[in-house]
Amino acid sequence: MRVGNDRLSFGTDGPRSDPRRMAIFAVLIVAGALLVWLHETGQVPALFEPTHIPTRNAVSYAEQGQAYFSAGNLEEAIRVYQEAVRVDPGDGRMWADLARIQTYSSALLTTADDRRARLAAARESVERAVEANPDDSTAAAIRAFVYDWSATAEDATTGASQREEYLTTAQTSVARALQLEPGNVLALAFQAEVYVDQQKFTQAMAVASRAASLVAPDDPFSMDVHRVYGTVLESNAQYRLAIEEYLRAAAVAPNFTYLYLLIGANYRQLRDIESALEYFDRAVRINEQLAIEDPTPYLAIGKTYMQDGEFFIAARNIERALAISPSNPDIYGRLGIVFFKSRNYEGAIVALQCAVDGCPQDVSQTLLCEYVYDCDAGSEEAQSYGVEVVGLPLRDDSLEYYYTYGSVLTYFRNSANYPSACVDAERIFRVVLTTYGSDPTVADIAAASRELCSAAGGAGSPEPSPSPAAPQTPSQTP
């Protein structure tokens, strides 16, 4: 239709009003003004503003946490599970799952203090789990697992009483789990692990093999069952059979790097160095894919090369670990041992100082620039590398660092760079002998060093004898 010049009419001519309509308009105007006033006074939030109450439920967090664990990212799994229990603190199973992951993650920490701190957090989590659901057999089984690993993390000398207390709690917990559910394969597996730490190897083997034969392939804890059976076999020096069980566990959790570290450690026991390095390297590649900075696989590789007499390659891998964790005194200690065995005493004394006595920023900076970053210690670049390092207390896992440091100090007894070398060596050996004086290896090393320092006017500095391996204690870390 064509629009012409005719005037368009949009309504009836003349004024027109409706009292009811006017009343509605008035009410709307008043209500709008009231809403504006309430918003300005903070009593009503703005439209479409996000709510302050979390809309994500705990199950969603738990599912994401399990996905992170399956992917091999344990730190993110812990973080997300912590969100899950924050949203629903009354869910005992989520607390138990969190405790299990926290316990496994402790094996990937490199210092005893860090491991104990993580296990303390796991104990808190598992106690919340049992408190929330005291009749849950799985929670009780995981409680046994947490306390058993807590016992293993305690020093055999200084933490003996605590170790026994934790083992007793683990034993009680696994008994409770099996009372609630006699056929619980997870409880059976952890019972076997407790038996290993109680030196009851025959019982451990019987229970672990039974659990492995009963567990279904789709059981959510089948990895744990096969991992424990591998641990029992390893404790009986059946390394090839242990590897087979660890591989079964890895088939269930293919991104869990701890399993590959266990496999590599068992190949190392068999002196199959190539296979050991292959599995350690697999752990490195998984971490690289997940962008996880973890020094543990590099330390395992370094230990393998050191035992094979390849000190240069061993040092390079430990230096890579040090680049990831430059304030970690245990890594300085391991590097110091490699330097000592390769007769690099100048590097050994600095590294072992950081491990035992600790060292200020400028000392660690010098070492990091020389061996890790290839930089000038006085340059601007070097300023970002130095860190203060706190020394390790004397315990079973640091004993070798202490007596090796004393030996290296003795070597430098006539050096102008270390005028107090013998005084410092005597200080170290006094500390060591107070706790480990009955150990013949420690006593012999201390006596030899004291004799060298007491010999007046000795020319030159004979090389110290390579230190023997430190006394070994059970550990989940390869």
344-351 long-range contacts (CB < 8 A, ≥24 apart) are 345/408, 345/411, 345/412, 345/463, 347/371, 348/404, 348/408, 349/405, 349/408, 349/409, 349/412, 349/418
DSSP assignments along 384-417, one per residue? GT---BPPPPSSTTTHHHHHHHHHHHHHTTT-TT
pLDDT of 462 reads: 55
- For helices 345-356 and 399-411, angle between their N-to-C axes, nearest 10 degrees: 130
pLDDT of 12 reads: 45
The answer to which of 165-179, 227-241, 363-377 has the lowest mean pLDDT is 363-377
pLDDT of 114 reads: 92
Question: Residues of the chain with pLDDT > 90: what percent?
Answer: 73
pLDDT of 325 reads: 94
Q: Would you say residue 467 has pLDDT above 90?
A: no
Q: pTM for the complete prediction? A: 0.83
Q: Would you say residue 80 has pLDDT above 50?
A: yes
Place of tokens 């200080």: 427
Instruction: Set out the domains of the chain in order of their start, with CATH numbers.
Output: 58-279 (1.25.40.10)
> What is the residue-averaged pLDDT of the chain?
87
Token pair in block for residue 102: 């926290």
38: pLDDT confidence band, cut at 50, 70 and 90?
A: low
pLDDT (tens digit, 9 = 90+) per residue, 40-78?
Answer: 665 555 554 555 555 578 889 999 999 999 999 999 999
Measured between its terminal Cα atoms, the distance across the chain in Å is: 90
pLDDT of 158 reads: 74
23: pLDDT confidence band, cut at 50, 70 and 90?
A: low
Cβ–Cβ under 8 Å, residues 282 and 299: no
In terms of pLDDT, which residue wins out, 16 or 293? 293
281: closest CA among 250, 266, 302? 302
Q: Which residues contact 322 (CB under 8 A, 6 or more apart)?
A: 295, 328, 331, 332, 335, 368, 371, 372
Phi, psi dihedral angles at 359 (to 5 degrees): -150, 150
Distance, in Å, from the CA atom of 325 to the CA atom of 328, rounded to the nearest integer, reads 6
Tell me the chain's radius of gyration from C-alpha atoms.
Answer: 32
Token pair in block for residue 285: 């590649």
